[in-house]
Structure 1
Amino acid sequence: MRRRHLLASGITAAIGISAGDLLRAAPAAAAIAPLKSVGTQLPIDDFRAIELDEARGRLYIAQGVGGGLPLVVTDLDGRLLQRVTAVADISDLVLSDDGRILYAAQGFNRIVALDAATLAIVASYPAPPGAHLYTVEPTGDKVIGGFIDAGLGSGGLLIWSAPGVPPVVYTEGPNYHPIIDASPGAPGLLVAGDTGYSPVTTYVIDVSGDSPRIVARRDNTGSNLIDYAVSPDGTEVVETVGHPYEHHSYRLPDLADATVYPSGVYPQDAAWSADSSTVAIGRASTSTGDADVYLYGKGSTVPAYAVDFRNGDSLWKGTLLVNRDGTRAWAVSSTDPYQETQLLHSFGPAHPPRPPVTDLAVTAQVGTGKDKQTAQLTVTWSSPIGDDNYWWITASTNGGAEREFWRGKMDASGRYTLTYALPRGTTTFTVRYRDYWEFYPDGYATATLQR
């Protein structure tokens, strides 16, 4: 598994063709037209990490530390299944290689192990005083936690050989704000580096024995480390850094150059399918029409699939997930600078994304009594919604020129009522929407009254 979102609240498809064959047969990058995805709001109050349990049809979501918010479980489309109130204040979570245990970093002071079938706590791994624990990664028969200094004098790694046993405190590799990842294909090996200062040094650390040992070290692998993604077969690691503006991968265990997966500005995340056939590459701050996520075949520099989020909707770090054979992926994005919305996108060669739809309607009726010379109008919508989305309405009588007489915001109310002084004859009311960014389709609806 790979690192998910690190910073926690309160701390510094073709039948008979495999996904791999489909990716290798992809056209050139310039010919890949990104599919549009609007996502679905997740049933959460805050967000820090997400994990896929494909076998059980679940997504596990951590909501951060400090607010007592519980572990949330949804189905693969983001619909709520369960809130696990007994497991709250989670900054990170990851499923074991065999899928039986869900590990969660809890309260910045311990890792808890949950039975993935029942979600009951079955073990605990307490952190020593002075270690502010925020991330977790199992490898081989060890459980690894990343910590920042809270009195020990250094950040680093905590390495447990068994629950309840004091961990080995390791600070000879990353020792400030570690990012870590491991793979079932390379049990006992950990890829690690520090975020928070540059240039980045990437380590491969053997944690299988009593004393951790650096197997490989490579300096200057980029600036502003965001994430590592080790392929499940254990042969390469994709690094996501703020610079350079591409995703470099390195062979394991020696960190020799491997594939450079083109991404452009700005690298934000990477993730592998469980069969290592497919790697997803995520970007941030893209314009409408530019892909936020690409899918590549392993070793290929030509993307086979691309998806585009709407303008201002930015991919969260560490949220890319890919299913076993690379035919479906997930990502979380936010549509506001304070990350108060969390949209789940699901897409891939075998799973079309939720497309943008403009749902706009108008109804009209003539008033009664003293209002019989007044048109009573109701405009309704369900999509799009947002501060930058406006509808406008015009009137045309007896085939004459249209005249705009009202303009309104498409807010979450989804409904607006208004009146119009109705002249004699036949009047047609037309309500319209046009997206400046050309992401949503045009909206258009009419209603006609006779007086």
Structure 2
Amino acid sequence: MRRRQLLASGMFTAIGLSAGELLTTAPAAAETVPLKSVGTQLPVDDLLAIELDEARGRLYIAQGVGGGLPLVVTDLDGRLLNRVTAVGDISDLVLSDDGRILYVAQGFNRIVALDADTLTMVASYPAPPGAWLYTVEPTGEKVVGGFIDAGIGSGGLLIWSAPGSPPVVYTAGPNYHPIIDASPGAPGLLVAGDTGYSPVTTYAIDVSGDSPRILARRDNTGSNLIDYAVSPDGTEVVETVGHPYEHHSYRLPDLGDATVYPSGVYPQDAAWSGDGSTVAIGRASTSTGDADVYLYDKGSTVPTYAVDFRSGDSLWEGTLLVNRDGTRAWAVSSTDPYQETQLLHSFGPAHPPTPPITDLAVTAQVGTGKEKGTAQLTVTWSSPIGDDNYWWITASTNGGAEREFWRGKLDASGRYTLTYSLPRGTTTFTVRYRDYYQFYPDGYATAGLQR
């Protein structure tokens, strides 16, 4: 699902887990050997929401509000297709059920409808003064936005029946910082709850009529709400909360118990395939070798597929996406605590992830003239790179013991030159890399010189 709450932009600070919750680890999901994925940097400056348009082979990315950053469009592998400069300052975006309209929440003050083919504006839904609008969800004949209080007196929902018309302002359900989701299989049905305080109350709301109507309400569905993911047929919703450490799903519209999809630690996101056959669940702060994302068959508690990101590379909330038949999924992760990198991972049963490789090489030549007793060495690399990744080089002459004489960082430059005082005989230079976390394979390359 797309991100359903504001990222750490200074507007809100999420309520953290208690010390007791942080020290309690639930059982891990059933053992499934995860495949490793390194991801590729997205062509963005920031990221607040992402949406899949499988029919057009696109990903739409909202970069947030306040800096005028435009809507970004990439292909399904994260390569830039377009920067729509006419549409900027976006906090959320979602395709209509028929895929013809891309709705974007813009500038905290309106929803804009874009023709999905041309990405030009076709309609606008202005928010009333005092309602800071940040999320959007179409359902049936209505367009719904979640808002926070900016002078209107309460947070809640804005429900439009037509563009340009005043929305119904609804505060009888979630009324602080709403998270919302809907599904084409249940037009007019909205699942909603508040983030920002705990415990969570989850609502199933009928918004199809003139006045919204609560169909079911369930208290204490967890703490620290992150997201909802309604199944395509509208019969089930998977909830992502900070605690407990598992993904509970509830029947719709009565919110009765359904499947519990095991996640083990730190739930972070959930998403459905378009045909409803597959549930993806994401986790945060996992160790190397532990899955960041699991794929489950609907109703099953045994995962069919798992993928692992690098140590310290954590899934962003609200960025899990799954294609129509569950054979390919997408997720965004960051390798730093300030989310200044945005790595797109693509993986699934029909789409192997980009695996970690160690590309390390060394070349050597003897100097000329006065430098003929000096070896000129060049070490090159393209992967891995990072502050914690180092290469080292040794020399061995005439089969003698190796001696390390230099160690360097695998930074983004990808190249380092150095010299070595070359003794007589045959000298073998060996450059190596070893990942402390055992995510990347060992790197090894040699070059030899005769003097």
Note closer, same or farther for the CA distance 1:91–1:381 as it changes in structure 2 (3 Å cut): same
Q: Distance in 1 between matches of 2:31 and 2:24?
A: 14
8 Å Cα contact 2:28/2:262 also seen in 1? no
| CA deviation profile, 1:204-256 (whole Å, cap 9, x unmatched) | 00000000010000000000000000001101000000000000000000000
Q: Distance in 2 between matches of 1:14 and 1:112?
A: 28
Q: Distance in 1 between matches of 2:70 and 2:110?
A: 16
8 Å Cα contact 1:361/1:381 also seen in 2? yes
8 Å Cα contact 1:2/1:230 also seen in 2? no
Note closer, same or farther for the CA distance 1:234–1:20 as it changes in structure 2 (3 Å cut): farther
Note closer, same or farther for the CA distance 1:13–1:208 as it changes in structure 2 (3 Å cut): closer
Q: Distance in 2 between matches of 1:302 and 1:227?
A: 22
Q: Distance in 1 between matches of 2:410 and 2:215?
A: 57
Note closer, same or farther for the CA distance 1:14–1:314 as it changes in structure 2 (3 Å cut): closer
| Mean Cα deviation higher: 19-28 or 216-225 | 19-28
Note closer, same or farther for the CA distance 1:311–1:3 as it changes in structure 2 (3 Å cut): closer
Q: How far does residue 369 in structure 1 lie from its aligned partner after superposition?
A: 1.2
Note closer, same or farther for the CA distance 1:122–1:440 as it changes in structure 2 (3 Å cut): same
Note closer, same or farther for the CA distance 1:3–1:434 as it changes in structure 2 (3 Å cut): closer
Q: How far does residue 7 in structure 1 lie from its aligned partner after superposition?
A: 2.9
Q: How far does residue 188 in structure 1 lie from its aligned partner after superposition?
A: 0.1
TM-score normalised by length of structure 1: 0.96
Q: How far does residue 30 in structure 1 lie from its aligned partner after superposition?
A: 4.5
| CA deviation profile, 1:335-362 (whole Å, cap 9, x unmatched) | 0011000000000000000000000000
Note closer, same or farther for the CA distance 1:200–1:24 as it changes in structure 2 (3 Å cut): closer
Q: How far does residue 370 in structure 1 lie from its aligned partner after superposition?
A: 1.1
| CA deviation profile, 1:9-32 (whole Å, cap 9, x unmatched) | 453299999999999999996441
| CA deviation profile, 1:148-184 (whole Å, cap 9, x unmatched) | 0000111000000000000000000000000000000
8 Å Cα contact 1:2/1:228 also seen in 2? no
8 Å Cα contact 1:20/1:297 also seen in 2? no
Note closer, same or farther for the CA distance 1:114–1:435 as it changes in structure 2 (3 Å cut): same
Q: The residue matched to 1:30 in structure 2 has which SS?
A: coil
Note closer, same or farther for the CA distance 1:23–1:423 as it changes in structure 2 (3 Å cut): closer
Note closer, same or farther for the CA distance 1:246–1:12 as it changes in structure 2 (3 Å cut): same
Q: The residue matched to 2:55 in structure 1 has which SS?
A: helix
Q: The residue matched to 1:350 in structure 2 has which SS?
A: coil
8 Å Cα contact 1:23/1:304 also seen in 2? no
Note closer, same or farther for the CA distance 1:39–1:233 as it changes in structure 2 (3 Å cut): same
Note closer, same or farther for the CA distance 1:240–1:101 as it changes in structure 2 (3 Å cut): same
Q: How far does residue 6 in structure 1 lie from its aligned partner after superposition?
A: 3.4
Q: How far does residue 305 in structure 1 lie from its aligned partner after superposition?
A: 0.2
Q: Distance in 1 between matches of 2:272 and 2:143?
A: 21
Note closer, same or farther for the CA distance 1:25–1:121 as it changes in structure 2 (3 Å cut): same
Note closer, same or farther for the CA distance 1:204–1:442 as it changes in structure 2 (3 Å cut): same
Q: How far does residue 4 in structure 1 lie from its aligned partner after superposition?
A: 4.2
8 Å Cα contact 1:8/1:64 also seen in 2? no
| CA deviation profile, 1:177-201 (whole Å, cap 9, x unmatched) | 0000000011000000000000000
| CA deviation profile, 1:75-97 (whole Å, cap 9, x unmatched) | 00000000000000001000000
Q: How far does residue 415 in structure 1 lie from its aligned partner after superposition?
A: 0.3
8 Å Cα contact 1:13/1:349 also seen in 2? no
Aligned 1:46-445 pairs, distance under 5 A: 46-445=46-445
Q: Distance in 2 between matches of 1:135 and 1:13?
A: 17
Q: How far does residue 437 in structure 1 lie from its aligned partner after superposition?
A: 0.3
Note closer, same or farther for the CA distance 1:291–1:366 as it changes in structure 2 (3 Å cut): same
8 Å Cα contact 1:175/1:194 also seen in 2? yes
Note closer, same or farther for the CA distance 1:407–1:30 as it changes in structure 2 (3 Å cut): same
Note closer, same or farther for the CA distance 1:416–1:447 as it changes in structure 2 (3 Å cut): same
Note closer, same or farther for the CA distance 1:220–1:41 as it changes in structure 2 (3 Å cut): same
Q: The residue matched to 2:20 in structure 1 has which SS?
A: helix
Q: Distance in 1 between matches of 2:230 and 2:432?
A: 49
Q: The residue matched to 2:30 in structure 1 has which SS?
A: helix
8 Å Cα contact 1:44/1:72 also seen in 2? yes
Structure 2 unaligned residues grouped into runs of 5+:
none
Q: Distance in 2 between matches of 1:379 and 1:5?
A: 45
TM-score normalised by length of structure 2: 0.96
Note closer, same or farther for the CA distance 1:21–1:247 as it changes in structure 2 (3 Å cut): closer
8 Å Cα contact 1:143/1:159 also seen in 2? yes
Q: Distance in 2 between matches of 1:22 and 1:195?
A: 19
8 Å Cα contact 2:29/2:264 also seen in 1? no
Note closer, same or farther for the CA distance 1:270–1:30 as it changes in structure 2 (3 Å cut): closer
| CA deviation profile, 1:305-329 (whole Å, cap 9, x unmatched) | 0000000000000000000000000
Q: Distance in 2 between matches of 1:233 and 1:186?
A: 7
Note closer, same or farther for the CA distance 1:389–1:186 as it changes in structure 2 (3 Å cut): same
Q: Distance in 2 between matches of 1:385 and 1:88?
A: 32
Structure 1 unaligned residues grouped into runs of 5+:
none
8 Å Cα contact 2:16/2:224 also seen in 1? no
8 Å Cα contact 1:200/1:222 also seen in 2? yes
Note closer, same or farther for the CA distance 1:19–1:329 as it changes in structure 2 (3 Å cut): farther
Q: The residue matched to 1:31 in structure 2 has which SS?
A: coil
Note closer, same or farther for the CA distance 1:23–1:410 as it changes in structure 2 (3 Å cut): closer
Q: The residue matched to 1:319 in structure 2 has which SS?
A: coil
Q: Distance in 1 between matches of 2:283 and 2:295?
A: 12
